[in-house]
Chain A
């Protein structure tokens, strides 16, 4: 099996790696680059815990090959805060207790960031359908939806 050399940008930084042709972007992020914020909940695109943004598109990194990242711009949870300044969504998730076990949280935050980038004033229904690709088993989603609503208000005001 021949390794594929990849040059890509992750959270603004140029990153180069060698990966196997069948290795997923999630495996590359977690096992090669030490970016374990994206989680594998299913490996089949059904839970959203591995969500990242590739060239402004929200994707499941378990359904992207590492080799496909060549020349792309990738955003992960590790790049969401600016230094020690949390993103408003991160802050609101904390304030609303929108996480219990927290394993789905990185995926939800990335998905919510993508949602608000495309729709800064979503209705409750738009938030619910926009985040339907992310499974949470702890919260019943109530506090997650409220945190996103609150963050949207803060971000519009900013």
Chain B
């Protein structure tokens, strides 16, 4: 069971909750389950969500495993110059 923290504009998609417990082995499964439980996440996932695992931000590596006990944050995907 991973505890996932939702930041910024993302918590609105989970009905205002900013912490969720989700059983997932990697980012792909995490996104799939999020979209199942909270359909509002689907367009956000399509648009792009960044996942911070123990402080390192991943934007596109959906195969990245979620280590047990890892601190996981979901952040909006950013634009850069």
- In the complex they form, do A and B come into direct contact, defined as C-beta atoms under 8 angstroms apart? no
Which residues of A are interface residues toward B (Cβ below 8 A)?
A: none
